Structure 1
Amino acid sequence: MEKSATCGYSLIEFAYLRPEKFDLDALAKRAAALKLDIAVTMGLPVSHDVSSEDAQAVRAGEDMLADAVRAVRDIGGSKLGGILYSAHAKYSRMPTKRGWDSSVAAIAKTAGLAQSAGIDLVLEVVNRFETNLLNTTAQGLAFIEQVGSEHVRLHLDTFHMNIEEANPAAAIRLAGDKIGYFHIGESNRGYLGDGVINFDLMFDALLDINYERDITFESFSRAVVDEGLSLACAIWRDTWTENMPLAQHAKQFIDLKMDEAKRRRATVARP
């Protein structure tokens, strides 16, 4: 948290892994002292899959989501995101209509709890190897329309969009004000600019939709990140081992790309 504040970040993201091991009140006070907002992201285990046709797993998932909402509230966070609508896993089957409907109902129920707690609920659209339900922005928009709550938005991520979207920038424009949270991640999960993602197009699109919510850098290394999360995200090699220079570079990269996008827009707008 102190390193994030030192780098100039205004938000830190925590993974919902073992909240019982942490003093949430102390973390909330420390974040407030550092002027850091808090986001929490998670993925459901298979045993708690709300898109399952197993009613017991769905109930367990709903309970886990409710616990997560309470934890975000207690830590003073502003949003709960991630793969909230299914298991965070590679599926061996196609999604079913019954599973989709169960997930919609579970998210609608969780949205009511989140709204009462003053927390945004944002659903991360991820690649085919991490869920079988929401892989594209268009699928995400159809899902939240069925949920029927204005309190539920999409959580988009450049790493996943680079895999699944035919045109990531067009997908950003399609989502428009339905984007509630945005992840910046490189194609190799490492340093921004060391992969193949065209971030100029991404930032141009974000300006086009007047996006003013959080942009959060996400990267993984087994040297730092929780082992279970590293395995779930298939981090088989480390592209970095020291997190401070990585974080400093990411903040500078994001600020630079946003500034460049604004200058391009100003140039185009001149008569």
Structure 2
Amino acid sequence: MTNPLGVHALVWVGGTTPTDVATAVRQTKAAGYDLLELSLHDAVNLDVAAARAALEEADIAIACSRGLAFDADVSSDDLAVVERGEKLLHDSLQITHDLGGTHFTGALYSALGKYAAPLSSQGRANVVQVLKGLAAEAAERGMTLGLEICNRYETNVINTAADALRLADDIGADNVTIHLDTYHMNIEEDSLDGPVRLVGERLGYVHIGENHRGYLGQGHIDFDAFFAALAEVGYTGPITFESFSSAVVSPTLSNDLAVWRNLWDDGMDLATHARGFMATQLAAHGA
């Protein structure tokens, strides 16, 4: 397999305290993964130096992700709100770099939550301007940005691969890539393979999640079609398993993502099953 296989830290822990990160790194290694994805929603509690040391000792790569809040939303018409969001993005890019990561991804363009109205033209212009600046800083550091496509209940900025490509074109930076997530695709796209082909070589990061966010293969997502398309376009980037349950509670993200029920309570069993599932799919499709 050429694709690094990753797991989201929220499979293990709800925050990013030193104890949380140490646990997440240890469990990620034990489950056989190459990469840990860390959400920066709890960055105020993150000891960056200690986290980097733990990652390096375990030989685990890092990718970071985040969404914004409604009071720090770069898609807002209110410039003071946009400025707060812009600062969060640049601070998060710095943290990702200091952790040793090169992938900073997520809903970098809006708050995570249901909007009451469509995106305004001014709001979209603000997104483009902010992400142009963030992309320029990322390029200086040899880093890429990922535009994670989220469903209509979590953002009004980009909901499909076609939306994301238009936004990336307007940003106009080679290091801005598209981030596909099978959970969101299941809601918004016509198929699981078409968007992969549409994005093609601009695909930079992948989230694998079942339609109910639980055990892979126990829902109705067509993973065969998705992994076949990844092989067809020659995707060699990270493939990260993402799942949420009320068994692991993040005070902010659990509410933002509507994690109301227990889909699983044994993160290690879930994660080892997911790694085996993804490896089998990659092998089956010659990736």
TM class by smaller structure? over 0.9
Counterpart in the other structure of 1:31: 55
Counterpart in the other structure of 2:214: 190
Shift of 1:82: 0.6
Counterpart in the other structure of 1:268: none
Contact preservation (8 Å) 2:41, 2:67: no
Q: Separation in 2 of the partners of 1:221 and 1:118? A: 34
Matched, 1:131 2:171: no
Distance verdict in 2 for CA 1:225–1:78, change over 3 Å? farther
One-letter amino acid matched to 2:186: N
Counterpart in the other structure of 2:71: 47
Contact preservation (8 Å) 1:37, 1:78: no
Shift of 1:33: 1.3
Structure 1 residues 126-178: Cα deviation after superposition (integer angstroms, max 9, x where no partner) = 10000001000000000000000001001110000000001221111100011
Counterpart in the other structure of 1:108: 132
Contact preservation (8 Å) 2:135, 2:175: yes
Matched, 1:62 2:105: no
Counterpart in the other structure of 1:85: 109
Q: Separation in 2 of the partners of 1:257 and 1:58? A: 41
Q: Separation in 2 of the partners of 1:17 and 1:126? A: 17
Structure 1 residues 27-83: Cα deviation after superposition (integer angstroms, max 9, x where no partner) = 111111111110111000001111110011111111110100111111112211110
Matched, 1:175 2:199: yes
Counterpart in the other structure of 1:224: 248
Q: Separation in 1 of the partners of 2:68 and 2:202? A: 23
Report runs of 4+ in structure 1 exceeding 3 Å deviation: none
One-letter amino acid matched to 1:87: A
Q: Separation in 2 of the partners of 1:225 and 1:71? A: 23
Counterpart in the other structure of 1:152: 176
Q: Identity of counterpart residues, as a percentage?
A: 39
Q: TM-score, normalised by structure 2?
A: 0.90
Q: TM-score, normalised by structure 1?
A: 0.95
Counterpart in the other structure of 1:13: 37
Question: Which ranges in structure 1 are unaligned for 5 or more consecutive residues?
Answer: 264-271
One-letter amino acid matched to 1:60: R
Contact preservation (8 Å) 2:149, 2:159: yes
Matched, 1:256 2:284: no
Q: Separation in 1 of the partners of 2:209 and 2:102? A: 21
Q: How does 1:260-271 map to 2 (within 5 A)?
A: 260-262=284-286
Counterpart in the other structure of 1:162: 186
Shift of 1:225: 3.7
Contact preservation (8 Å) 2:192, 2:222: no
Q: Separation in 2 of the partners of 1:120 and 1:262? A: 26
Q: Separation in 1 of the partners of 2:223 and 2:122? A: 38
Q: Separation in 1 of the partners of 2:203 and 2:251? A: 29
Cα RMSD after superposing both structures:
1.0
Q: Which fold has the larger relative contact order, with Cα–Cα distance below 8 Å and residues 6 or more apart in sequence?
A: 2
